[in-house]
Amino acid sequence: MGQTDVYLATCAELPGGDPDTELLTGHLRSSGIQAEVHVWDDPSVDWSSAPLTVIRSTWD
């Protein structure tokens, strides 16, 4: 598995992202961009390990 290009930040209520996240990650994947969804306040996530973080559903 290659390096993650983009982290998508979400809230704990939607750990897999909001309803359109699968559509977004599919389009990114088809463009050769690897994306991962993470809960924004998860202390185990090293946010500096991806070159880009997109703030998505951080509602909490």
Domain residue spans of the chain:
6-57
How far, in Å, CA of 10 to CA of 1, rounded?
23
Taking alpha carbons only, the member of 43, 34, 42, 35 closest to residue 11 is 42
Distance between CA 28 and CA 46 in Å, rounded?
21
Reported confidence tier of residue 3, pLDDT bands at 50, 70, 90: confident
pTM of structure: 0.89
Query: Coil, helix or strand for 27?
Result: helix
- Report the pLDDT value the prediction gives residue 1, as an integer from 0 to 100: 46
Mean pLDDT of 1-20: 91
Of 23, 32, 24, which is closest to residue 54 (Cα–Cα)? 24
